Structure 1
Amino acid sequence: MTHLILKEHLTEKRFNSLNMADLQDFKQESECIYKSERYSVRDNGAVLRHSLERKRPRPTDNNWTFGKLNIKTGYLEIASERVHRIVATAFHGEAPTKEHVADHIDTNRQNNRPVNLRWVTRLENILLNPITARRIELICGSVEEFLADPSKFRDKFPDPNYEWMCAVSAEEAQISLKRMLSWAKSDKPLQGGSLGEWIYNREITENPPAALPNYIISKTPNAAQRVIFNFEDKPNEYPSTPQVFEGDPLTAYNECLIKGAVFFRNHNGEYVVVKSGFSKDKRILCILTRANYVYREQKNGEWQPVPVAELPEKVSDKELSHSLAIVTYEDGLFVHGKAETGFHPTEELEELFDDYIQGL
C-alpha cells in the first residue's frame, strides 16, 4: 500500500470512526432525485442511495453514509458523486442553473449539513476562493473595486482562465456583492476566505463591537492564537516565538523561522517551517508549514500520530500534510492564525503563499 493510499485509508477510517455514532444523530430527513438517482438525506449530512427498481443492489446502495473522502479534493463522495450537492438538492432544492455550485459556508468541505450549504453563482464561487480573491485584490486594488465595474479590468489578468469574470455584467456583479454583504451581516459570517475577511472585517471596523479580542493566549509566552471555532479552542505551543527582541516584532520573528524549526506543537505533534515571508504591506508574516508526524494504525486498531523521525521508512515532504499560517503583532502579542480553514491541497497553499508575499 503506497503512502498516498495509506493516507486516504487513514483519513477515511478516522473520519468514519469519529462520525459513525453521528449517523443516527439527526432531526430531519428528506428525499431528492439527483442525476436520476433517488436519495434519502438527513440534516446531519448523511445520505442513502436507493437501489434501482428491478436491479440488484449495488455495494453503496441502501446504507447510510457520510461518504468516502476524496483525499485529492477534500470532498466526501458516494459512488463518485459529491455528497454536498446531493444534500443541497434535498434541502435547498435543485440548483437554480447548471452553473450554480454548492458552497460550504465555513469552508470545511467535510461539513455537509444543510445549514452549512448554499447555492452560489459561478462568480460568487470564484470570489469565495481565497486564491482568486487575493489575485483580484492585487490586480484591481480591492474586491469591491472589481465588482463596481468588472469590464474595467479586461486584459488585466495574465491568466486567460479569469477573462470571463470581466465579461460579467455590472448588474450581476452588484447582485453578488449585495448577497455577500448580506451573508456577512447574518449570524453566519464568512470566515476563512479573503473576501470573507474583507467583508466581515470591514463590518467590524465600521461598527466595532464591545467584545473580547478574537484570540486566546497560547502556552508559549508572548504568543496568542486566533479563535477558529469558539473560545473553547485549546492553546498550542509556538516554540519559535521571540521572547526578547529589538526593532520590528515581525522581522524578529521571521529571523527565528529557520527551515525545519518547530513552528507549533499540539497534542497530535509538531508542524515545522517550510518557508516564510511578509505580505506586501509588511503587516503580516506568512508561514508555510508541514506536519512532522503521520498517523499509523496500532495493534489495538487505533490510529495514533507517530513522529516522522520514528518511522522505519522515509516519507517525502510532499506526502505530509501542510498548513498555511499568518502571524500579526497585536496588543503586544504575536497572534497566530490560519490563512485558510478547511481542507486545501499543498499546491493550493503554495500558490496562496506566493500571492500573500507578491511584491517582495
Structure 2
Amino acid sequence: MTETDDDALTPIVIAGGGIGGLTAALALRQQGHNIVLLEKANEISEVGAGLQLSPNACSVLQRLDVLKDLEAFAYAPDGLRIWSGENGKQLARVELGKFIRERHGNPFWVIHRADLQRVLLDRAQKTPGITIRLSCEVQDLTPSPYDHLVCIYRLGEETANQKCKALIGADGVWSRTRRHVPGHVNARFSGQVAYRATVPIDQVDDKFARDSGLWLHRNSHLVHYPIRGGRELNIVALAREDWSDETWSAKADKDAVLRVFKDWPAETRNLLGKPERWLKWALCSVDGSGPWTHGHVALMGDAAHAMLPFMAQGAAMAIEDAAILAKHLPKNVQNIPSALRSFERDRKPRASHIQGISRGNARTFHYSGPMAFARDTVLRLTKPKSLAARFDDIYGWTPEQ
C-alpha cells in the first residue's frame, strides 16, 4: 500500500509545547511530516529556571541546526566543584569545559530553560509545516477506518477535531495523554522538594560565580551554576519535605528556605539569603518501565519517564526521545503503531537506566554518618578527569547509536 497525497498531508499531533514537544516538532518535520502542536497555555513561556545541556543533548540540537543559536545564552563551566554542606570544605572537582567537549565532540552547557525554549519556539514558528495552536488541550481520541486518529481537543471554550497520523504526548509529568496508554501509572511524589531562584552574578562571591557547584548534606543538597551567558546565577536547593503540588512555580518564602538550611555553613546561607523571590516545586517521577505506546499514541519525555533531577538529565532525555522518535518515523512510514513500539523498545532501557542513576544519586547525595564519610573519601581520592569519565555512557550518546 502506498501513501496517498491526502495521507502525506495528515499531520502528527504533539500535545505539549515544552522543550520535548518543540524538539520533537523540529525532528519530525525534518523527516518530512506535517506537525500540529497543541499547547494548553495561552502562551508558550518559561517554566522552571536553569538546566544542564550535556553533550548527548547538544548532539541532537546540533543535528537540528539550533545549537549555534543557543551559544549566546549558554555558559560552559570549566568544572563542577563538589563541597561538603556540613563543614564547607571542597571534596572534589569534576572536569568539564574543554575536556568534555574534546572527549564527546559537543559542549557541556548550562542555560536558562526560557532561553532554550525561546530558541526552539522561534525555529518552530519559522519552519513551514509546523503549526502551533495555543489554548488547546487534547480531550479525547476516536479511531478512524483509514488507519489514523481523530483528535478532539479543547479550543478555548469550544471543541475542535484534528485528523492525525499519531498523537505524541509531550505534556509533562502531569500528562493527560497518558490516559490513552492503558497500564501506565501516574506521577508519584518522591518526598522531596526543590526551591529555585536566580540572582545577578555580580551579587555573589567569585566562589559561586564561575564553576558549577554541588553541596552535599544529610537529607538536602544545593546546586548552583551561571546561566544567561554568565550574567545570572541559578540556585536550586533540594530537601526532604512532606509537600506536594501539581505546579512548577508555587511561591516560597525566603525565610522558609533559610529555616530548611539552618544547619548549613554561613557562606551558603548568605547565598540563599540573596534572592528575594523563590519558587518551589514537588519532585515527582513517572516509572519509565511502564508502557509508553498504544496504537497510534506515544508518550515521550516527562510524560513517559519523568525522573528526579539528581543526574540533571530530564531535559536531555526528552531531547534524545525526540531524535529517536523521528528516526523511527520516516516520511514514508506505513505501520505507525509498529514504529511507535520500536521507538519505545529503543528508548526504554536508556531512560530506565538513567532513572536508576538519578534514584541512586538521591540516596548518595543525602548520606549522613559513616556512609557520608565513605562517599566523601572516595570523592577526595578521585581525579577530576576520572570523575568526568564516569559519565561517558551518558554524555557520549548520539542519535546514531
Normalised by the shorter chain, which TM-score bucket? under 0.3
More helix by share: 2
More strand by share: 2
The structure, 1 or 2, with the larger RCO (C-alpha pairs under 8 Å, 6+ apart) is: 2
